[in-house]
Amino acid sequence: MNIRRGIIVLLTGLLTSITLYGFIGIKEPIKEMNAANLKVVEVPEQTQSMEHPDFIKAVYESVLPEGENIAMHGKVSANSTSGVYAPRKVIDGNVNGPSYWEAAKDSYPNLLTINLKEAVPVHGIRIRLCPLDLWGKRTQSFSVKTSDDGEYFKELIPLKAYTFDPKEGNEVILIFDTQQTQYVQLEFTSNSGASGAQVAEFEIYSK
Ligand SMILES: [Ca+2]
CATH label of the domain that carries residue 157: 2.60.120.260
Q: What pLDDT is stored for residue 26 in this prediction?
A: 46
| Number of structural domains the chain divides into | 1
pLDDT band at 58, cuts 50/70/90? confident
Q: Mean pLDDT, to the nearest integer, of 60-76?
A: 96
- Ligand 1 center to residue 180 CA distance, Å? 25
- Ligand 1 center to residue 128 CA distance, Å? 9
The answer to the question of residue 175 being in a domain is yes
- Ligand 1 center to residue 203 CA distance, Å? 10
Q: Mean pLDDT, to the nearest integer, of 94-111?
A: 98
**Helix, strand and coil in the chain, % to nearest 5:** 20, 40, 40
Q: Where are the alpha helices (DSSP H) in the chain?
A: 2-25
The answer to the question of residue 2 being in a domain is no
Residue 81 scores a pLDDT above 80: yes
CB atoms within 10 A of CB 194: 14
Choose between 189 and 43: higher pLDDT: 189
Q: Of 64, 61, 82, nearest to 188 (Cα)?
A: 82
Q: Of 128, 155, 157, 145, nearest to 183 (Cα)?
A: 145
Residue 176 scores a pLDDT above 50: yes
Task: Quote the DSSP letter at residue 92.
Answer: S
| Alpha-carbon gap, residue 180 to 148, rounded angstroms | 8
Q: What pLDDT is stored for residue 1 in this prediction?
A: 46
The answer to the question of residue 32 being in a domain is no
The answer to the question of residue 122 being in a domain is yes
What lies within 8 Å, CB to CB, of 116 at 6+ separation is: 70, 71, 73, 74, 122, 181, 182, 183, 184, 204
The answer to the question of residue 51 being in a domain is no
- Ligand 1 center to residue 181 CA distance, Å? 23
Q: Which domain holds residue 175?
A: 68-206
The answer to the question of residue 26 being in a domain is no
Mean pLDDT of the chain: 86
Q: Are 182 and 147 in contact, with CB atoms under 8 Å apart?
A: yes
- Ligand 1 center to residue 42 CA distance, Å? 51
- Ligand 1 center to residue 101 CA distance, Å? 8
Q: What pLDDT is stored for residue 53 in this prediction?
A: 65
| Alpha-carbon gap, residue 203 to 187, rounded angstroms | 15
- Ligand 1 center to residue 147 CA distance, Å? 24
Q: Mean pLDDT, to the nearest integer, of 47-52?
A: 59
Residue 121 scores a pLDDT above 80: yes
The CA–CA distances, whole Å, from 21 to 9, 13, 152 equal 18, 12, 96
- Ligand 1 center to residue 89 CA distance, Å? 4
Provide the percentage of residues in the chain whose pLDDT is more than 70.
72
- Ligand 1 center to residue 176 CA distance, Å? 24
pLDDT band at 9, cuts 50/70/90? low
- Ligand 1 center to residue 84 CA distance, Å? 12
- Ligand 1 center to residue 121 CA distance, Å? 23
Q: What pLDDT is stored for residue 35 in this prediction?
A: 62
Query: Quick one: 137 exposed, middle or buried, by C-beta within 10 A (0-12, 13-18, 19+)?
Result: middle
Provide the percentage of residues in the chain whose pLDDT is more than 90.
71
The answer to the question of residue 33 being in a domain is no
